[in-house]
Copies of this chain bind each other. A is one copy, B any other.
Amino acid sequence: MPGNSFGELFSITTFGESHGAAIGVIIDGCPPGLALSEKDIQPDLDRRKPGQSKITTQRKEEDAIHILSGVFNGKTTGTPIMLMAYNKDANPKDYEKLKDLYRPSHADYTYDLKYGIRDWRGSGRASARETLARVAAGAIAKKYLKEKCGVEFLSHVVQIGTIRADIDMQKVTSKAIDASLVRCPDKSASDKMLKLIEEVRKEGDSVGGIIRGLVRNVPPGLGEPVFDKLPADLGKAMLSINAVKGFDFGSGFGGSIMRGSDHNDEFILSSLRGSAKQSYPKGSKNITTKTNNSGGTLGGISTGEDIYFRVAFKPVASIALQQNTVTRSGKATKISVEGRHDPCVLPRAVPIVDAMAALVLMDHYLRNKAQNG
């Protein structure tokens, strides 16, 4: 497949440019019988939407999602589900002055290299607006997994610039995440982050940060050994999001300085920990681990413990501050990318991380079903 599809069995294919007619996605492989309407999808899109608050881009997009196929009488039928949002606030003229310039650290240059042609209206296909389609598809995966196995997706911001939050992973709730404008469930850090973002905006600059992905109640046995290990697929999913520069899971980069004797997660009987671990069909004898440096997988396969990982975002490339660059025809010039850009993309990226995690888990959930024949 040429690169706009993701997933083997719960497979999505996205389309659309930032300032084209529409952005959308076909989901192929959704099991039949799932109750589904636009109302199940819209809330996730609203979490991702520009213009939610003063700290996000002021582009006004309704981003109203439409289901155009695959649902009948309120239920999925097993046929492809097409979801689409029209681009209503498209205003390509804003971008005309950029069409012969290469914005620093943007994809303008590489699209030209690769294709010899590019849609310069608001980054075209390279715009983060494409993630709308991912969030819409992810909402279906989330709903399915929630209903079938109680899986919860609880990504949250843990760092913006140099401000780090202090969060007990065991206690994170969906409510606490959304109580914070920056989606960081540590009130004190959240306040500082908010302030930092405001400062950065005023400076015409941008700032990066880290989102922690967190998934609870993961069914054990998901993930394929060798190439399609669960963390490998999660990593690819996250690294395919615009502005992401890094991914680690469990102990991650921190684990690289540890000794095996500290890092290994000893197996214990779950009764010892008092956890009410879900019983697994093949009889797992209520085994659990004392620690979870592994981040919820061993050998690429889920253990049933929480999956957690970090996603590093660079500061967004669009800044109002003046920078040097060159024109398409190779002349040195100056550029200042004014407009409605987020000074910090992380708060809006939280639902994207959740969506991508849900797409990966849903795909492996179906692959696992197939596997045992």
Which of B21, B29, B126, B266 lies in contact with A324, CB distance below 8 A? B266
Inter-subunit contact A370/B369 (CB<8 Å): yes
With A78-B371, A246-B247 in contact, do A32 and B264 touch (Cβ < 8 Å)? no
Scoring A residues 85 to 105 as 1 if CB is less than 8 Å from chain B, else 0, what string do you get?
Answer: 000000000000000001011
Query: Which single residue of chain B is at the shortest CB-CB distance from A75?
Result: B117
With A15-B80, A208-B263, A232-B236 in contact, do A69 and B29 touch (Cβ < 8 Å)? no
Q: Decide if A151 is an interface residue (CB 8 Å cutoff).
A: no
Most buried by B among A4, A21, A114, A116: A114
Q: Decide if A205 is an interface residue (CB 8 Å cutoff).
A: yes
Inter-subunit contact A268/B161 (CB<8 Å): no
Inter-subunit contact A313/B267 (CB<8 Å): no
Write 19 A-B pairs (CB below 8 A) sorted by A numbering: A1-B8, A2-B29, A5-B28, A13-B26, A15-B81, A20-B72, A29-B371, A33-B115, A72-B124, A77-B119, A113-B221, A144-B373, A161-B257, A208-B263, A228-B240, A246-B246, A251-B314, A253-B253, A258-B314
Extra 6 A-B pairs, beta carbons < 8 Å, given A4-B224, A285-B330, A365-B373: A2-B371, A15-B68, A109-B267, A113-B284, A209-B257, A287-B326
Q: Decide if A293 is an interface residue (CB 8 Å cutoff).
A: yes
Q: Decide if A210 is an interface residue (CB 8 Å cutoff).
A: yes
Shortest C-beta distance, A174 to chain B (Å), equals 24
Inter-subunit contact B264/A317 (CB<8 Å): yes
Inter-subunit contact B246/A253 (CB<8 Å): yes
Inter-subunit contact A28/B16 (CB<8 Å): no
Inter-subunit contact A326/B267 (CB<8 Å): yes
Q: Decide if A37 is an interface residue (CB 8 Å cutoff).
A: no
Q: Decide if A70 is an interface residue (CB 8 Å cutoff).
A: yes
Q: How far is the CA of A22 from the CA of B170 in the complex (A)?
A: 44
Q: Which residues of B contact A109 (CB under 8 A)?
A: 267, 287, 298, 303
Which of B32, B245, B367 lies in contact with A256, CB distance below 8 A? B245
Q: How far is the CA of A266 from the CA of B28 in the complex (A)?
A: 32
Most buried by B among A232, A246, A266, A325: A246
Q: How far is the CA of A225 from the CA of B106 in the complex (A)?
A: 12
Q: Which residues of B contact A298 (CB under 8 A)?
A: 105-107, 109-110
With A78-B117, A373-B369 in contact, do A205 and B314 touch (Cβ < 8 Å)? no
Q: Decide if A42 is an interface residue (CB 8 Å cutoff).
A: no
Q: Which residues of B contact A284 (CB under 8 A)?
A: 112-113
Inter-subunit contact A245/B251 (CB<8 Å): yes
Inter-subunit contact B105/A263 (CB<8 Å): yes
Q: Which residues of B contact A274 (CB under 8 A)?
A: none
Query: Which single residue of chain B is at the shortest CB-CB distance from A116?
Result: B282
Q: Which residues of B contact A267 (CB under 8 A)?
A: 102, 104, 109, 324-326
Query: Which single residue of chain B is at the shortest CB-CB distance from A298?
Result: B110
Query: Which single residue of chain B is at the shortest CB-CB distance from A288?
Result: B326
Which of B242, B303, B330 lies in contact with A113, CB distance below 8 A? B303
Q: Decide if A79 is an interface residue (CB 8 Å cutoff).
A: yes
Q: Decide if A278 is an interface residue (CB 8 Å cutoff).
A: no
Q: Decide if A276 is an interface residue (CB 8 Å cutoff).
A: no
Q: Decide if A366 is an interface residue (CB 8 Å cutoff).
A: yes
Most buried by B among A17, A72, A247, A318: A247
Scoring A residues 187 to 216 as 1 if CB is less than 8 Å from chain B, else 0, what string do you get?
Answer: 000000000000010000111111000000
Q: Which residues of B contact A289 (CB under 8 A)?
A: 104
Q: Decide if A52 is an interface residue (CB 8 Å cutoff).
A: no
